[in-house]
A and B are shown apart, each in its own frame.
Chain A
């Protein structure tokens, strides 16, 4: 028998039982749409997760903090030297670098240009490991006379311009003693100011009383500029840790004896470099076991993934159950068809239809039911995905850049192939049952 003729006969048979065909296919449609929606959601979330990872920058660098729960309220927590050393022994951690931020007021000046950048103390020898790569100039030598700046630093200079109010444009509230006086205005300088090999004057300021200030000045030679990176935003001046410790000590009025005070207590913040992104969750857990606190975007993603996994499992469960029921439905429909068409099958066998011919007729029929269901299910899942994307994006309030669920072209092929296979598998048993019908028995009962 030619395949074309087999198809024709099968389609005619399906059309004869249109209602039953549609109902049976509907089962497949429900199952397919649940499974496709599940996969579409999974794929969408995966894509979003990857995009979010991109936004978080280098995930392999973790910030480690003291565990605030173990620190008395109002006290500053520290990561001790012993703790730093044991961090270094954690499997997956390549390097540990303390970061000391400067807390006090500063003023940075290069000629007439001022800059309000933050100050951070780092270990220049480890800078590259932590994503700070030299873009221009050279690495600082680590002495207290040299520092480096972030990529944005040269763009954030401003000038202090003295402005004397013009007569007549004074505030109507003439009693205000400040209004008549000249005041200063900061005007940002456009473009990048060359800073390499220039000495920036960094002065610490302390206000002691009403008009009494105390100042301490350092001349810092800028040896180079780091490349732009996602680690630090805006203008930052990087100085050796010791220098920042000294500045912090001066600021709080303490006297440093010998090496830094921080060395005795430890550090408030330590950065850790993880060798492999896959090890991040494991390293995070280890750090916490050591009584320290850290955070990684992978944490949040894991949490999200857990939630979405549950949603996917529910959808997958519905899909599997629906498909199972649909499969049974197809088997049932086809078995009923055999009973009804017993005589027809007998006549076809009398006319010389081979076992393969009869099997083909039934497999084509169940395959078409499967495919039909798959098609309807696919259309339905496009609807489900559209709803998920509208409702889901509203609920997520911009946490996601792109669609929550996506149906790539291969998922369409997969769904069609899958439903076809479901149909064919469900038809296997009825087909062989039909093929085994004895022509004699079939035409005998009149």
Chain B
């Protein structure tokens, strides 16, 4: 029953990616296959330079793979045109970055609203949803502050709210706790975990932290562009 409401099944098949830098080809991913179950909370681990961010960005449609396919609930992301990818990202993906990537001159509320501005949602509804989302991340009293007036943890909460306000199928977080101290990082992780339960969307989180990896339902280890280990925890659910 519950599984039917969950959304965001990711299927990656034979994924290869090579960056072309002028004359030099930089192969990064060498054939990746995995499936993420809808509503799952998955960790993507691996050493620096192993290709975690690249994989995440490919799934989020920020760039197109050299080879292989990526599917999200049956939509084939890897064949979409640039314009289709824009709409795809808007409607299906929520991104969370290590460095927050908030607009410095916008308030927390405006930053969250920005994720809804590229659709056709009326202004009042947009505002209403953004406020509701900020309440969920515990920032109702900081809504009208600019990022520079917020702590790192608070800024990351704003960016979490921005990623989730569109109710996306998939939330992609690239080292969301990387810039935070361990206590604040734990809080953010806690928040992501609870939102994952509430919203029933799939979370894919890149992390170095073994502690985080252990707390996930599903962990994928990447090394030099290939999956070297993968396990599913059943203790979480």
Binding site for B on A (CB under 8 A): 1-2, 5, 9, 12, 16, 343-344, 347-357, 438-440, 443, 446
Q: Are A440 and B101 interface neighbours, CB within 8 A?
A: no
Between A12, A351, A354, A440, the greatest number of chain B beta carbons within 10 A of the residue's beta carbon is seen for A351
Given known A-B contacts A2-B120, A440-B63, A351 and B99 have beta carbons under 8 A apart = no
Contact of A443 (CB < 8 Å), options: B82, B90, B101, B123: B101
Residue of A nearest to B174 (CB): A443
Q: Is the CB of A1 within 8 A of B97?
A: no
In the complex, identify which listed stretch (B65-73, B111-119, B132-140, B227-235) lies at the interface while the others stay far away. Answer: B111-119
Within the assembled complex, what's the spacing in Å between the Cα atoms of A352 and B90? 4
Contact, CB under 8 Å: A352 / B115: yes
Shortest Cβ distance from B102 into A: residue = A347
Contact in complex: B63, A438 (CB < 8 Å) = yes
Total A-B residue contacts, Cβ distance less than 8 Å: 64
Collect the chain B residues with CB atoms within 8 Å of residue A356's CB.
83
Q: Can you name the residue of chain B whose Cβ is closest to the Cβ of A354?
A: B86
Do residues B87 and A354 form an inter-chain contact, with CB atoms below 8 A?
A: yes
Chain B residue contacts of A9, Cβ below 8 A: 117
B62 interface hit (Cβ, 8 Å): yes
Is A352 a contact partner of B120 (Cβ separation < 8 A)?
Answer: no
Cβ of B86 to closest chain A Cβ, rounded Å: 4
What are the nearest 9 A-B pairs in CB distance? A352-B90, A354-B86, A440-B62, A352-B89, A353-B118, A440-B63, A352-B118, A351-B115, A1-B118
B169 interface contact, C-beta 8 A: no
Indicate if B105 sits at the interface (CB-CB under 8 A): yes
Classify chain B's interface size.
20 to 34
Given A1-B119, A16-B105, A348-B118, 18 extra CB contacts under 8 A:
A1-B117, A5-B117, A344-B103, A347-B103, A351-B114, A351-B118, A352-B86, A352-B93, A352-B119, A352-B166, A353-B90, A354-B87, A355-B83, A356-B83, A357-B86, A443-B97, A443-B101, A446-B99
Give the complex CA separation of A347 and B60 in angstroms.
13
**Shortest beta-carbon distance, A349 to chain B, in Å?**
7
The docked-state distance in angstroms from the alpha carbon of A353 to that of B90 is: 7
A185, B190: Cα distance in complex, Å: 123
Q: Is the interface of A mostly helix, strand, loop or mixed?
A: helix
Complex Cα gap A353–B166 (Å): 13
Chain B residues within an 8 Å CB radius of A440:
57, 62-63
Nearest chain-B residue to A438 (Cβ)?
Answer: B63
A445 nearest CB across to chain B (Å)? 11
B162 at interface (Cβ–Cβ under 8 A)?
Answer: yes
- Please, which residues of chain A bring their CB within 8 A of the CB of B83? 354-356
Residues of A within 8 A of B93 (CB): 352
Q: Let me know if B41 is at the binding interface, CB within 8 A.
A: no
Residues of A within 8 A of B87 (CB): 352, 354
With a CB–CB cut-off of 8 A, which chain B residues contact A438?
Answer: 62-63
Q: Does B95 contact A (CB under 8 A)?
A: yes
Q: Is the Cβ of B62 less than 8 Å from the Cβ of A352?
A: no
- Residues of chain A within 8 A (CB-CB) of B166 are 352
Q: B residues within 8 A CB of A349?
A: 86, 89
Residues of A near B115 (CB, < 8 A) are 351-352
With A443-B97, A443-B101 as contacts: A352 and B162 at CB distance below 8 Å: no
Residue among B82, B93, B97, B101 having the largest count of chain A Cβ atoms under 10 Å? B101
Q: Which residue of B lies closest to A351 (CB)?
A: B115
Q: Which residues of A contact B162 (CB under 8 A)?
A: 351
Q: Distance in Å from the Cβ of A156 to the closest Cβ of chain B? A: 82
Residues in B whose Cβ lies below 8 Å from that of A351: 89-90, 95, 114-115, 118, 162
Cα distance A293–B114 in the bound complex, in angstroms? 80
Docked CA distance A12–B105 (Å): 10
Bound-state Cα–Cα, A12 to B103, Å: 12
B101 touches A347 (CB 8 A): yes
Kindly state whether residue B224 has any CB partner on chain A within 8 Å. no
Closest chain A CB from B159 CB (angstroms): 10
- Compute how far the CA of A343 lies from the CA of B99 in the bound complex, rounded to whole angstroms: 12
Q: Give min CB distance, A16 to chain B, whole Å.
A: 7
A87 to B89, CA, bound (A): 85
